[in-house]
């Protein structure tokens, strides 16, 4: 892989992983509500799940999924419903004591979330088609691309989780009234709703 290709790939990895999305929003929210340690399984699940997704796309599964409308719409519907459920649970959490009983998105759920995120499929397809397949050194390119994106995925989600954990004491407020936490969770719920629109809008334009 040339230096120009590597630079473009790093730029894509930075934009694709550090810009707000369902993964980063959940990383920040989990850490703010449950602490950094409780958020780490999800933080690690994001690059792990996306890494598996990238390998499957390199093997040709991505083209099959995106080229078969019923399966593509099924994945989209599952992702939308899951994110809407998480947004509703977040919006109804008013204090840290409530958060302790709320949903914990752990490693397994974090990995599965990547497979029902249609945008993750499109990003993996873009990476595979632009940097991996169609070259004589395809296996070597995959081995270069995979750890790079997994590193950026881990770094971005850990950064968002660290920010959420840093806000935890301030969000708690006096006597666990947690009005600040309630508004933070509502803001994160709106962010998840925004990602739902972001996922659905391009799909509707293809109808």
Q: Please give the pLDDT value at position 126.
A: 83
Q: Please give the pLDDT value at position 178.
A: 58
Residue 5 near residue 131 (C-beta atoms within 8 A): yes
Q: Give the H/E segment covering residue 41.
A: helix 36-58
Q: Which residue has the higher pLDDT, 93 or 53?
A: 53
Q: What percentage of the chain has pLDDT greater than the value 70? A: 87
Burial class (CB in 10 A: 0-12, 13-18, 19+), 147: exposed
- Mean pLDDT, rounded, of the chain: 81
Highest mean pLDDT of the ranges 12-16, 45-49, 61-65: 45-49
Q: pTM for this one?
A: 0.81
Q: CB 146: neighbour CB atoms within 10 A?
A: 19
Distance CA(65)–CA(60), nearest Å, equals 9
Q: Please give the pLDDT value at position 103.
A: 56
Residue 182 has pLDDT above 80, yes or no: no
- Tens-place pLDDT, residues 134-164: 777 888 889 999 999 999 999 999 999 999 8
The encoded tokens of residue 47 equal 């690059």
Is 123 in a helix, a strand, or coil? helix
Q: What percentage of the chain has pLDDT greater than the value 90? A: 22
**Segment 173-187 mean pLDDT:** 69
């Amino acid at each position: 892989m040339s230096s120009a290709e590597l630079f473009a790939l790093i730029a894509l990895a930075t934009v694709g992983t550090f810009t707000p999305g369902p993964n980063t929003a959940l990383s920040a929210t989990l850490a703010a509500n449950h602490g950094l340690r409780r958020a780490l399984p999800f933080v690690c699940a994001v690059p792990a799940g996306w890494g598996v997704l990238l390998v499957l796309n390199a093997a040709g599964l991505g083209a099959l999924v995106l080229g078969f409308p019923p399966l593509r719409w099924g994945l989209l519907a599952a992702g939308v419903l899951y994110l809407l459920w998480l947004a509703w649970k977040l919006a109804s959490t008013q204090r840290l004591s409530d958060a302790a009983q709320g949903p914990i998105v752990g490693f397994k759920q974090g990995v599965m979330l990547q497979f029902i995120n249609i945008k993750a499929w499109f990003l993996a397809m873009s990476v595979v088609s632009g940097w991996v397949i169609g070259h004589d050194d395809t296996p070597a390119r995959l081995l270069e691309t995979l750890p790079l994106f997994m590193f950026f995925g881990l770094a971005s989600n850990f950064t968002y989780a660290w920010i959420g954990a840093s806000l935890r004491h301030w969000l708690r407020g006096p006597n666990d009234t947690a009005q600040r936490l309630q508004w933070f969770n509502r803001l994160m719920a709106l962010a998840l709703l925004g990602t739902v629109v972001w996922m659905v809008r391009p799909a509707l334009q293809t109808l």
